[in-house]
Amino acid sequence: KTVGWAVVGLGQLALEEVLPAFAKCRLSKPVALVSGHPDKAKKVAAVYGIDPKNVYDYENYDTIAKNPQVDVIYVILPNSLHAEYTVRGLKAGKHVLCEKPMAATVAECERMIAAGKEAKRKLMIAYRLRHEPFNRTAIDLCRKGEVGKIKLITASNGQDTKAPNIRLSKALAGGPVEDVGVYCLNAARYLTGEEPTEVTAVAVRPKDDPRFREVAESVAFTLRFPSGTVAVCDCSFGVAGVRRYTVQGAAATLSMDGAFGYAGQELVLEKDKRKAKFDLSPVNHFAAEMDYFSTCVLKNENPLTPGEEGLADVRAIIAIAEATRTGRPVPIPR
């Protein structure tokens, strides 16, 4: 049996990554589209063999409830719209995969989680790296104690974001922490398996670059964990771009170049002056993630990254924003 998916929002990620990835899925099939642009949606539907009757707009979206072909809704809209379209999807009786970051506020995240519970439907936040072998192996190595006690994590995720882009709108997307910094934050959490208790942060907004009228160009932040681990993270919209992390343990150093990209991960464990490079078979992150969620639906299992996982990142993101404003350490509430 395959699981029927509706894709909500036909922007860059949906068109360039997610829809093509269905071809590599075993269990997940695109059966419906939701878009504000009917002509574009019809063309896209034709490419992917989607019945034009299953093309919805943002007004009649809720009538997807009556479509038995749709099991799962994948929300790929600007961050400011995640909560609304996730809640409406869950209320329509569908399971929802929602892009990261989960939403703009804790209250929105809590509403999304409550809507899933009320509808008895699954909600997963789209942390694709939990479904690809390099990051999974890094987590295993950390859990098995291969690096020893983790003292320091450094993580960087940067890109050169050209205007126009939803990412440069504070209202639609938040800023670099929400968009790219969340990968560093999430990695620090999955590598340690702990929840950070306190953050510090510094933001840079160059006055001479019109891209950064609303959002910071770069943010550097630290996360303090209960066991004593400190993560030093940075993210930017104005750099050529690195996507890497290093875990410095008492016994070994683990590092991953290309850690957050769609491909190109390079995982190295350095112990006793010997470097071991991991030769793993890469997968399409989006296909792996979608088939994973389809399996959760078919087997009625709880996903690895439910709404609570997205909420934990949002709590930290909000504390980081406060730390950039006050210049002081900010505790992360539980």
State the residues that interact with ligand NAD by CB under 6 A: 9-14, 36, 76-79, 81, 99-100, 126, 128, 166, 172, 179
Provide the minimum distance between the beta carbon of 123 and ligand NAD in the complex, in angstroms, as a whole number: 15
Smaller CB separation from ligand NAD, 174 or 238: 174
3-state secondary structure of 280: coil
Provide the minimum distance between the beta carbon of 209 and ligand NAD in the complex, in angstroms, as a whole number: 20
100 is catalytic: yes
Smaller CB separation from ligand NAD, 176 or 238: 176
Q: Which of 100, 117, 170, 271 is catalytic?
A: 100
CA distance 253 to 148: 9
Provide the minimum distance between the beta carbon of 84 and ligand NAD in the complex, in angstroms, as a whole number: 10
Smaller CB separation from ligand NAD, 13 or 204: 13
Provide the minimum distance between the beta carbon of 16 and ligand NAD in the complex, in angstroms, as a whole number: 8
Residue showing tokens 């942390």: 127
Smaller CB separation from ligand NAD, 104 or 141: 104
Q: Which of 240, 174, 163 is nearest to 203 (CA)?
A: 174
Contacts 24+ apart (CB under 8 A), 201-208: 201/320, 201/321, 201/323, 201/324, 202/324, 202/327, 203/324, 206/238
Q: What would you report as the CA-atom Rg of the chain, rounded to the nearest whole angstrom?
A: 20
Residues labelled catalytic: 100
